[in-house]
Amino acid sequence: MKKYQTLLYYCYSPITHAEQFAADHLLFCQSLNLVGRIIVADEGLNGTVSGTPEACRTYMDALHADERFAHTDFKIDEVDQPSFIKMHCRYKPEIVHSGLRDPKVIDPNTETGKHLEPAEFMEMKDRDDVIVLDVRSNYEHQVGRFKNAVTLDIENFREFPQKINELAQYRDKKILTYCTGGIKCEKASALLLKEGFKDVYQLHGGIIKYGKEAGGKDFDGKCYVFDNRVTVDVNHVNPKVISQCLNCGAQTDRMINCANPECNEHFTQCEACGWSMEGCCSDTCTTHPRKRPYDGTGYYVKLPQPVNTEKLSKRKQQQAMPSSSL
């Protein structure tokens, strides 16, 4: 058993006074000596936290004891070191940025694609009447994806709604969506249904759960994760590297962020080019005055911004004021 665990989870469940909840939840996580990144929105939680098994168990028990989050599905990884350095817990408009904020239009608690457990997904994915759809961004599916999956040219999930028309040719197929942990599929599958796709499914628990329960069979490459591990192994049955070094073309699944913070490009780079390019994606970036020191990992920690409790409710107070006083 390893010394630490990393928990990946999300939960669509309305949170009243979500800004205050974020401030309080940060203090709770810090009291457990957890590190990680949690997004809190009026629509729910999206988090990855890391700490000792005891701290992680206390955290999971606390969320499950809250009726709002009682159905939260935690994906648990055993790790040698915590997967973050700092603890972030921030309020944002959505728990995953999609631009689909109106619950009257898209509400994962009301209608989404049918959830498939990993074994069900594995059994269905190769049928002739099925299309497997990756709803993640370019840098994610370029380093790893299911065999024969349909991928979209998007830099961020908020671009997904713009790509619906490109999928029109698959309207008569069963659409099996997947993402890292399942959170993007909740809104992606709901949007597909709204746009007239009749037979829509989603991989419950995403790639991470599929790797744990189905051995990751037919997932080529590695899975991008949003912590200092950057990518993780998923396929323990028939693994295959599918990505290449941006600089020399050598086969590699090693993904980093460019050392130039104004670029910060996600890209694959072999270890040799990493050292020769000082963690940069191009010669131009190697000469940038703000270039960060390269330590061989290509992972750079953002300093956490403290929650300003004095301004937590300022926006809501303004919204509550009579229009004549504004």
| Measured distance CA(273)–CA(185) in Å, rounded | 35
Residue 285 in any domain: the answer is no
pLDDT of the residue at 101: 64
Tell me, yes or no, whether 73 and 119 share the same domain: no
Instruction: Point out the catalytic residue in the list 11, 29, 179, 245.
Output: 179
pLDDT of the residue at 324: 35
Share above pLDDT 90 across residues of the chain, in percent, rounded to a whole number: 84
For all residues of the chain together, what is the average pLDDT? 91
Share above pLDDT 70 across residues of the chain, in percent, rounded to a whole number: 90
Q: Residues 125-176: pLDDT tens digits?
A: 999 999 999 999 999 999 999 999 999 999 999 999 999 999 999 999 999 9
Residue 9 in any domain: the answer is yes
Tokens of 176: 């099996």
Q: Residues 100-114: pLDDT tens digits?
A: 766 666 788 889 999
Tell which of 212, 236, 256 closes a domain.
212
25, 46, 73, 173, 239 from 61: Cα distances, Å: 14, 16, 12, 40, 35
Tell me, yes or no, whether 121 and 164 share the same domain: yes
| Mean pLDDT computed over 263-273 | 95
Residue 254 in any domain: the answer is no
Which CATH number do you get for residue 158?
3.40.250.10
- Please identify which residue in the block is written with the tokens 């909740």: 186
Tell which of 212, 233, 260 closes a domain.
212
Residue 38 pLDDT exceeds 80? yes
| Measured distance CA(307)–CA(314) in Å, rounded | 13
Q: Is 179 a catalytic residue?
A: yes
Tell me, yes or no, whether 91 and 167 share the same domain: no
Question: What is the residue range of 80's domain?
Answer: 4-95
State the chain's maximal CA–CA distance in angstroms: 66
Tokens of 121: 């997904």
Predicted confidence band at 251 (pLDDT cuts at 50, 70, 90)? very high
| Measured distance CA(198)–CA(173) in Å, rounded | 9
pTM of structure = 0.86
Tell me, yes or no, whether 197 and 165 share the same domain: yes
Q: Residues 39-49: pLDDT tens digits?
A: 999 999 999 99
Residue 268's SS3 state is strand
Each as own residue / partner, the long-range contacts of residues 146-154 (CB below 8 Å, 24 or more positions apart, any chain) are 146/178, 146/218, 146/219, 146/220, 147/218, 147/219, 147/220, 149/178
Residue 242 in any domain: the answer is no
Query: Which residues have CB under 8 Å from 132's CB, separation 6+?
Result: 125, 146, 148, 149, 150, 176, 178
Which CATH number do you get for residue 51?
3.30.70.100
pLDDT of the residue at 1: 80
| Measured distance CA(103)–CA(93) in Å, rounded | 12
Residue 218 in any domain: the answer is no
Classify the phi-psi angles of 264: left when phi > 0, otherwise alpha if psi is within -120 to 50, otherwise beta: left
| Measured distance CA(202)–CA(184) in Å, rounded | 10
pLDDT of the residue at 106: 79
